[in-house]
Structure 1
Amino acid sequence: MSEGIDDYLPAEKGEGGGENLTEPLDPQVIGPLLVWAIRLVEDFADDILAAWTERRRMSDLAAVFRGSAEGRAALEAYVLPLVRSGAPLPTTENQGSPSLARIFIAATTGASLSQVDHFGSRYGLGSVLAERHEPARLPVEVTGLLDGRRWREFIGFDEAGELIRHLGTAAALICLYLTGMRPQEKGAELRLMQHSTGRADSIFAGRRGQL
């Protein structure tokens, strides 16, 4: 008698055997969440991955740059016009408060991190940041669309880390839930997802520029 795969599996225990006995999630609950996850992966993953790659590249560059006259000159040429013109300075968030985007600026100018720190102290940029600042914008083009428009104007240096976590969560949700779905759930969920697109679009639109 030929052996099948069941011969290599552990013996069934309990009344349900190998069936998933967990109470199914209500389609009204899981449907919109799955739509969000699928839209995030399909429509916005390219932007998020590009931003994360650029953030990693800039972080690696800033870590290896050493102080030089050229770096100091490039730093002054980049930051001083912003200070003198009243333009906002590129920042990241540090414990809930804006902080000079030192890694971003170092990678952009070729200055060392210590040169950026010294420059900020020399020109009192801490007080300037309190009045005018904006997220450091990663130099990547946003291409994903929501309702025919770009889903956000830019991705900030800080945001890349948060967005990559959202993307990983969305991908895990899709894989873990759909592959473990009961037969009776599949049809109900997929039908609901087809009718939930409009609701999901409204969720994304409401958080445009925040996700």
Structure 2
Amino acid sequence: MIRVLIVDDEVLVRSGLRMILEATGDVVVVGEACEGAEAVGAAVRLSPDVILMDVRMPGMDGLSAAAEIGRLPDPPKVIMLTTFDIDEYVHLALRAGAVGFLLKDTPPRDFAAAVRTVAAGNAMLAPTVTRRLISSFAEKGPSPAEAARKRLAVLTYRERQVLREVARGLSNAEIGRELTMSEATVKAHVSNSLAKLGLANRVQAAILVHDAGPFPG
């Protein structure tokens, strides 16, 4: 069973998400919280696999909570929830370690699919809205391409190949088929790359690759 913590200041939203997720049969909601500080405490106490967390809440908001949770030992995966198609705070949440975000009007079946995706170790890069978010973030402000390329230079040729596919939103299995390698090898390349780059997850790696733009293999 996938253990989920729901964090939102609206009772109806929490209740709706609980009903959607627990109807799947492979997800259990282990707790709820109405603001960020409570969410951090619940994450420590309940050890969820995945947290669905609202961006904007009274008290500690979702952004601050995501950063706090990201500093925990073996932190749970955090998916941000927002009513906005593009929310500047979600950009920062991805930098803080969240693995993606969903709009609150996402079809019910997609919430369960998202939870399964991140629980399996994949990032929320496939949905169109998340691709657009990451692209818009990479394009804002002065280009960080040179710094990003310098960081990526520590990787081997194969590791850089794999990260390019991660940035496209492919799963380990899909990358393996694309690059003709086993899924276990892909997973090892991703883990080694994250360790070398000091990154927390695949979303941060994808942002770095987008920042770098085209770069030599």
| TM-score > 0.5, shorter chain as reference | no
* TM bucket normalised to smaller: under 0.3
Larger strand proportion of the pair: 2
Q: Under a length normalisation based on structure 1, what TM-score does the superposition of the two structures give? A: 0.25
TM-score (norm 2): 0.24
Which of the two has greater helix per residue? Answer: 1
Q: Which has the larger radius of gyration?
A: 1
